[in-house]
Amino acid sequence: MRRHICAGLMIAALILTFSGSAGTVAEESPASRVILSWTEASEATTQTFAWTANQSESTYVEYIAESVYTGGNTSCSKIYGTGTPTRVTSDVFYRYEATATGLSPNTEYRYRVVAGNIEGEWKKFTTAPQRSESFSFLYFGDIQVAANMAVELSAWSALTQTAYSNNPGAAFGLLGGDIVDSGLDSANWSTFLSAAEPVFSKIPLMPVNGNHESNHIGGKPLAYMDIFALPRNGPEGFAEEFYSFDYGSVHITAVNTHVYSGEQNLNAADYDAIKAWIKADIESSRATWKIVMLHHPVYAVASDGVSAKVLENWAPVFEDTGVDLVFEGHQHVYARSMPLYQGRVDYDKGIVYIMGVSGSKFYDTANESLMARVIYRESCYQVADVDGNSMSVSTYSANGALLDMVSLNARAREYVYVPGDMNDDNELTSDDLSLLIDSILGRDFSNPAADVNGDGAIDVRDAHSLLISLGGGR
């Protein structure tokens, strides 16, 4: 699940050809629609950038720690973008992505994107602490435009800016699918990306696709995969449709429910491989909190064939692996379920399902029988506040008024851990030694794997023991 982080810089822009593309060299223009995300395993030491620029340009990101910035760009690190033509039906645009690695935890950086000779404006992001037990993040349900794209996405952009300005410490945002109305259409995507940029050029945005991103022939969310830069740790053949990442004490697994539409013509073996990946991914996590994000709701509030298959096939996996919370969408109401286990309310083993809607398309009816709260015709966003073994999820209106809240307690978990395997990837490497040293210097004693020599204390003797295990000391 976790991957090693490759040090060093990505080199040289890769320009791909695309059949039916505009073809000719475009006029030079600034990079635009910058969206942050994470593609590597460490939110504390990496940052991924994705942006739009002309096909012909050499385009790159310059970045530097704010504390050492003295003006100009001579001390900046520089990473070139890798380009992909978006698989949309008209006005193909190029998305570039690049990942900065080897960053310092809990550190503010400034960055800008340069396209050709045009320098973008400086922006800022902050890396995560090495280990976070107390933090907040945002969730946004369906945006999918109902009638007027410009008006509705302007409203959505304002909602995200309200969410962020009221929660300026939010670590990242989740986006639960049906982001656009047509995943085939370049204008849909460009308008969305412009609406998202004010907030998500500051904090990462981690989405999952819905049915409207998947309306390509064959049911793959092709443009979605081109546009977003996401972890590629999903099942083979389904990279970016399924992925997981960790932030501090939270493990988040994003899954593409639209595979149950049948459009990809998957066979039983495919579905088995997907289910096995979901199970292994969630089961292997030692996070305090296990969260799933998906589009079609597990417990639908209106009859839905895809939801029925998700309930039948994946809900037992979520229950068996100790999932605490599921963020979902698709049915255009806000709905928070009772804690549900095997279809019944269960306060010990139940999972809370929260369906969001952050756009302006609404439905007026819902089966409320398993729901603790349903709200109709209200664009809203969710704020998850994590504090150790407690988490609250609050729902706010577009103008920031509190609408609903639920408090959760973490499940008791018992794990077998490998001493020294700080990053839980089942290997002892220099990455683990680096993390262990950080823990010792930061007096962070929360990871039991840090007690390498098993003496009950976490100190420099553990680093020495790990160094010997790695063959680097005596």
Task: Point out which residues bind Fe ion (CB under 5 A).
Answer: 178, 210-211, 330
Q: For strands 134-140 and 173-175, give the pairing.
A: parallel
**Least distance to Fe ion from the beta carbon of 211, Å?**
5
Measuring CA to CA, how many Å separate 78 from each of 34, 75, 288?
16, 9, 36
**Least distance to Fe ion from the beta carbon of 210, Å?**
4
Q: Which is nearer to Fe ion, 211 or 256 (CB)?
A: 211
Handedness of CA 248, 413, 298, 387 (dihedral sign): negative
**Least distance to Fe ion from the beta carbon of 263, Å?**
13
Measuring CA to CA, how many Å separate 226 from each of 60, 97, 233, 361, 431?
18, 10, 16, 26, 30
Q: Which is nearer to Fe ion, 216 or 330 (CB)?
A: 330
**Least distance to Fe ion from the beta carbon of 36, Å?**
25
* Amino acid letter, residue 403: L
Q: Which is nearer to Fe ion, 251 or 330 (CB)?
A: 330
Task: Count CB-CB contacts under 10 A for residue 136.
Answer: 18
Rounded Cα distance between 211 and 331, Å, is 12
Q: Which is nearer to Fe ion, 84 or 257 (CB)?
A: 257
Rounded Cα distance between 387 and 312, Å, is 33
258: DSSP letter: G
Q: Which is nearer to Fe ion, 189 or 247 (CB)?
A: 189
Rounded Cα distance between 245 and 239, Å, is 13
**Least distance to Fe ion from the beta carbon of 215, Å?**
10
**Least distance to Fe ion from the beta carbon of 307, Å?**
10
Rounded Cα distance between 354 and 352, Å, is 7
**Least distance to Fe ion from the beta carbon of 258, Å?**
8
Q: Which is nearer to Fe ion, 18 or 363 (CB)?
A: 363
Nearest to 96 by CA among 15, 180, 202, 177: 15
Q: Which is nearer to Fe ion, 211 or 394 (CB)?
A: 211
What is the SS3 assignment for 344-371? EECCCCCEEEEECECCCCCCCCCCCCCE
**Least distance to Fe ion from the beta carbon of 257, Å?**
9
| Residue 239 in tokens | 């990279």
Please, which residues bridge with residue 291 across strands?
252, 325
| Residue 43 in tokens | 């939110």
**Least distance to Fe ion from the beta carbon of 146, Å?**
13
Rounded Cα distance between 449 and 428, Å, is 11
11: Cβ–Cβ under 8 A, 6 or more apart, which residues?
80
**What phi and psi, each to the nearest 5 degrees, are found at residue 67?**
-65, -20
Q: Which is nearer to Fe ion, 210 or 221 (CB)?
A: 210
Q: Which is nearer to Fe ion, 179 or 323 (CB)?
A: 179
267: Cβ–Cβ under 8 A, 6 or more apart, which residues?
none
Residue showing the smallest CB distance to Fe ion in the complex: 330
